[in-house]
Amino acid sequence: MKKPLTATPQALVLAREVINIEAAAVQALTQRIDDNFLRALNIILSCEGRVIVSGMGKSGHIARKIAATMSSTGTPAYFVHPAEASHGDLGMITSMDVFIALSYSGESDELMTIVPVIKRQGARLISLTGNPKSTLALAADAHLDGSVAKEACPMGLAPTTSTTAALVLGDALAMALLDAKGFGEEDFARSHPGGSLGRRLLTHVRDIMHSGKKIPSVAQHAMLSDAVLEISRKGLGMTAIVDETQHVLGIYTDGDLRRTLEKRLDFNTTPVNAVMSRNPRSINPDALAVEAVRVMEERNISQILVVDNNNKLVGALNMHDLLRAKVI
């Protein structure tokens, strides 16, 4: 039976060395963010089509990540496998597109097979290689230098440092594009509607508030007993007190009820407007749900009324609604 392998303390030394080597390579890239990077950036910004990113092997994996990052941050992009491109997928590339080719050697056969066709079609070419004098680099309209002093692999064979450098340059390019386009949080949320940021930035108060007959409210001359019954019926821990035109005059909550009990008032003869909280904090239905969270946390309240621009009651919201909507 084969003896199980066991890691030794030497593995920790090697792991730290890998991180140090790759960190040094990434730091060295800052010296290469120059006119070539700016040229590549302007080529993409002037692109009227799509950005196509391509590479073979490990470079292909990095190319996929770069395309995905660009797509989610305001620059439409997709990955094309260079081998598949030479067998028909080149038809997806037009003269309006920008083609970003990744190859550390700059001599990848699969890429060099399709580069002349891409150039002939009129698409702009950006190369990301480890050799500025390579065939791919020289053919490009702009070249990004991703060269590294050495790979982190102990044998110097497995792409490690070089792929990290390429990924970082791709991220730098995507983030520079994001900034140049003024791509903001709401834009990001629209391309990530299923994520927590999307829910936080795309959900408005009107999307989750209780409306219509579900709004707890009583007239200003109602008795305390009526208010308590309304709180119980609607289950939001509060009721609004409104005038004849549905304008909000006050709010009566579970907390107010506890304080009322301490005063031993007669619920059948005491009008709710005598004990309600006047001028309650409210929010507009068009506000983001996260704004409701902020207001409720600042005021240390768990319910809030929703009113229009004329202070007319249109909805109600509590912290449980926000939790259910996964806004918090």
- Following DSSP, what letter does each residue of 178-220 receive, concatenated? HHHHT--HHHHHHH-TTSHHHHHHH-BHHHHSB-GGGS-EEET
Q: What are the strands of the beta sheet with 248-253, ordered from one edge?
A: 217-219, 238-242, 248-253, 277-278
User: Which tokens hold the place of 181?
Assistant: 């386009």
**HSE-CB for 286 with a 13 A CA cutoff:** 2
pLDDT values of the chain reduced to their tens digit, one per residue, 328 residues? 677 888 888 999 999 999 999 999 999 999 999 999 999 999 999 999 999 999 999 999 999 999 999 988 888 899 999 988 776 677 788 899 999 999 999 999 999 999 998 988 899 999 999 999 999 999 999 999 999 999 998 887 789 999 999 999 999 999 999 989 887 666 555 555 555 555 566 788 999 999 999 999 999 999 999 999 999 999 999 999 999 999 999 999 998 898 888 888 899 999 999 999 999 999 999 998 889 989 999 989 999 999 999 999 999 999 998 888 887 6
Characterize the bridge pairing of strands 124-129 and 142-145.
parallel
Q: What is the DSSP letter of 243?
A: -
Q: What is the DSSP letter of 89?
A: G
Paired with 53 in beta bridges are: 79, 100
User: Which tokens hold the place of 167?
Assistant: 């990924």
Spatial separation of the C-alpha atoms in residues 298 and 148, rounded to whole Å: 51
What domains can be seen in the chain, in order of their start residue?
9-183 (3.40.50.10490), 205-324 (3.10.580.10)
Query: Is residue 272 within 8 Å of 223, Cβ to Cβ?
Result: yes
